[in-house]
Amino acid sequence: MKALVKSRAEPGLWAEDVPTPQIGPDDVLIRIHRTGICGTDVHIWNWDEWAARTVPVPLTIGHEFSGEIVELGHDVEGLRIGQRVSGEGHLIGKTSRQSRAGRFHLDPETRGIGVNEPGAFAEYLKLPAFNVVPLPDEVDDEMGAILDPLGNAVHTALSFDLLGEDVLVTGAGPIGIMAAAVARHAGARHVVITDINPDRLALAGRVADVTPVNVAEQDLRSVIAAKGMREGFDVGLEMSGTQAAFDQMVEAMVMGGRIALLGIPPGKSAVDWSRIVFKALTIKGVYGREIFETWYKMIAMLQNGLDVRAVITHRLPASEFEAGFAAMRDGSCGKVVLDWT
């Protein structure tokens, strides 16, 4: 089959012919229809320090996908040939305390398709049936391919009660934009999203009913005053992974505010913990999606009117993957979706 492979320990990806996966009794074989390019895939393309110490070479990468089941392992029940599906890309263990308690997203033995195990940038993907998420008719292949990052946004946004709250999102990448849209859909009063990239802020305004703020040009305190928020934001969603954005968020929060952290700063960051203590802030680290509660929540919201399709800015055949990665690497896009059909 055709696949995009990290076949050498250097920058780039290569289109190659690799063996079609052979499934086991508890697996399914999925014919891939669409895939999304993730920031993680860009790290692997760039072959940065994280990728070099994490990703085995050679490896088929990619973990955002939709497709249809073409083969079932003989012990698989509840799924059928021809069924349209997406799936959870975190492959969990079964022996940890967290896993045995049903908190699968916290399992320390987790391995990722396209990062540690063969991934979805290919014509076919082998996936444990446990990880398969059937797609309803309301969720087409294109949206099915970005459920993984939408799940990150939903998990982060729904970390705290949002009804009637004022929400600050720092980082207008695709996941930040989708998190802002989720916050509005979930009943937040004011949603402000910050960045220094004017193109992505403009995209945020097109995707969701939010207030985009370029913090290189506008003081966040003036936005707080203009919206009549006397004390600051109730909930913060930090999606940028930058120290400056986190510091701005801490200063903009109300006493007792709550912050969910999805962005990952490079290396170690200097944090003024006294500000966090004296403001009695709650900080929650967010990793991936809750398996499978987040999947149920986001599919229900898509069926109930959540519309984030405009976050997809590039649609390309899989053969033009290099153009898709170029757009991702220079930040001139939202989500990039590759067509494998």
Tens digit of pLDDT for each residue in 98-124? Answer: 999 999 999 999 999 999 999 999 999
Check residue 106 and give its pLDDT.
95
Check residue 312 and give its pLDDT.
98
Check residue 268 and give its pLDDT.
84
Look-up: residue for tokens 């993730």? Answer: 38
The ranges of the chain with pLDDT < 50 are none
Check residue 160 and give its pLDDT.
98
Query: Tens digits of per-residue pLDDT, 40-81?
Result: 999 999 999 999 999 999 999 999 999 999 999 999 999 999
- Report the CATH fold assignment for 151-285: Rossmann fold (3.40.50)
Q: Is 43 labeled as catalytic in the residue annotation? A: yes
Q: Is 74 labeled as catalytic in the residue annotation? A: no
Look-up: residue for tokens 């908190």? Answer: 103
CATH node for 2-145+307-339: 3.90.180.10
Check residue 267 and give its pLDDT.
80
H/E element holding 135?
none
Active-site residue (options: 20, 33, 35, 43): 43
Check residue 27 and give its pLDDT.
98
**Domain locations in the chain as residue ranges:** 2-145+307-339, 151-285
C-alpha radius of gyration, the chain, whole number: 20
CB atoms within 10 A of CB 272: 12
CA distance 69 to 95: 28
- Pull the structure tokens for residue 256: 């007792």
What torsion, rounded to 10 degrees, do the Cα atoms 55, 57, 62, 67 define? -130
CA distance 325 to 336: 8
Active-site residue (options: 20, 33, 35, 40): 40
